C-alpha cells in the first residue's frame, strides 16, 4: 500500500506557475467574481493552446459548482484538468505541449 504525501493547493499552484514560465506558457489566475466554480488557472501555451487547471490540496475533490463549470468548458472544446499532486503538473504540460 502506498501513501500519498499531502501537498497544499498553494504549493501546487506555485509549482504550476513556475513550470509554465519555464516552458513559455502563461498561467493566468481566474478570479470567480461573477461565475462560481471557475477553474483556478487558465493556461495560454505556445502554439495557441488554451486549457484550464483546477488546483486542489492532495486528496481534495472539486465542488459540484466546479464540476458544472468544468463540464461547460469541456463542452466548448477546452481541456480542463484537476491536479492535486506535483507530478500531475509535468504530465499535463507534456500532454498539452506535445
60 assigned to some structural domain: yes
18 assigned to some structural domain: yes
Mean pLDDT of 33-56: 96
How many structural domains is the chain composed of? 1
d(CA 31, CA 41): 9
Do 80 and 51 contact (CB within 8 A), yes or no?
Answer: yes
4 assigned to some structural domain: no
- Predicted confidence at residue 2, as pLDDT, reads 54
d(CA 23, CA 19): 7
pTM of full prediction above 0.95: no
31 assigned to some structural domain: yes
pLDDT of 1 over the 60 cut: no
pLDDT band of residue 20 (cuts 50, 70, 90) is very high
Q: What is the CATH number of the domain that holds 92?
A: 3.40.1350.10
Instruction: Tell me the residue range of the domain where 79 lies.
Output: 9-97
Amino acid at each position: 500500500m502506498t501513501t500519498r504525501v499531502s501537498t497544499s493547493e498553494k504549493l501546487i499552484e506555485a509549482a504550476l506557475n513556475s513550470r509554465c514560465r519555464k516552458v513559455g506558457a502563461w498561467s493566468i489566475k481566474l478570479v470567480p467574481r461573477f461565475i462560481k466554480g471557475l477553474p483556478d488557472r487558465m493556461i495560454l501555451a505556445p502554439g495557441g493552446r488554451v486549457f484550464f487547471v483546477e488546483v486542489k490540496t492532495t486528496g481534495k475533490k472539486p465542488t459540484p459548482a466546479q464540476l458544472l463549470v468544468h463540464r461547460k468548458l469541456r463542452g466548448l472544446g477546452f481541456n480542463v484538468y484537476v491536479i492535486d499532486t506535483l507530478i500531475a503538473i509535468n504530465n499535463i504540460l507534456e500532454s498539452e505541449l506535445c
